[in-house]
Amino acid sequence: MKEVFELASTGIYSLGYLIKYAERKGLKTKTGKHLGKSHLYNVLTSPTYYGQFYQDGILYQGNYEPIIDKTLWDMIQKALKNRSKPKVNSWDTDWNGLAYCGVCGCAITISNKVKHFKRTDRTVTYSYAHCTHRRGDCVQPPIPVKAFGQMVLEAVSKITIDKEAWTLGVQLLKEKHKHETNTNLNQLKNYETEYHTYQAKLNKLVDMRANEELTKDEFMVQKNDVLKEIAGVEARINDTKLSARSWLELTEEYLNNAFNAKDIMQDGTAEEKRKLILSVGENLILKDKTMQFSFKQPYDVLLLPKYRTNVLGD
- Interface with Zn ion (CB under 5 A): 101, 103-104, 106, 131, 138, 140
Minimum distance from residue 77 beta carbon to Zn ion (Å): 46
- Smaller CB distance to Zn ion: residue 131 or 276? 131
d(CA 156, CA 144): 19
For residues 127 and 144, the answer to whether their CB atoms sit within 8 Å is: yes
d(CA 288, CA 102): 8
d(CA 4, CA 25): 10
- Smaller CB distance to Zn ion: residue 59 or 139? 139
Q: Give the contacts of 29 (CB within 8 A, at least 6 positions apart).
A: 35, 39
- Smaller CB distance to Zn ion: residue 140 or 160? 140
Answer positive or negative: Cα dihedral of 12, 14, 20, 25.
Answer: positive
Minimum distance from residue 102 beta carbon to Zn ion (Å): 8
- Smaller CB distance to Zn ion: residue 201 or 287? 287
Secondary element (H or E) of residue 114: strand 108-117
List the beta strands (DSSP E) in the chain: 52-55, 58-61, 99-101, 108-117, 122-131, 143-144, 281-287, 290-295
- Smaller CB distance to Zn ion: residue 177 or 287? 287
Minimum distance from residue 136 beta carbon to Zn ion (Å): 9
DSSP state of 107: B
d(CA 100, CA 50): 50
Minimum distance from residue 6 beta carbon to Zn ion (Å): 47
Minimum distance from residue 109 beta carbon to Zn ion (Å): 11
Minimum distance from residue 286 beta carbon to Zn ion (Å): 9
- Smaller CB distance to Zn ion: residue 140 or 257? 140
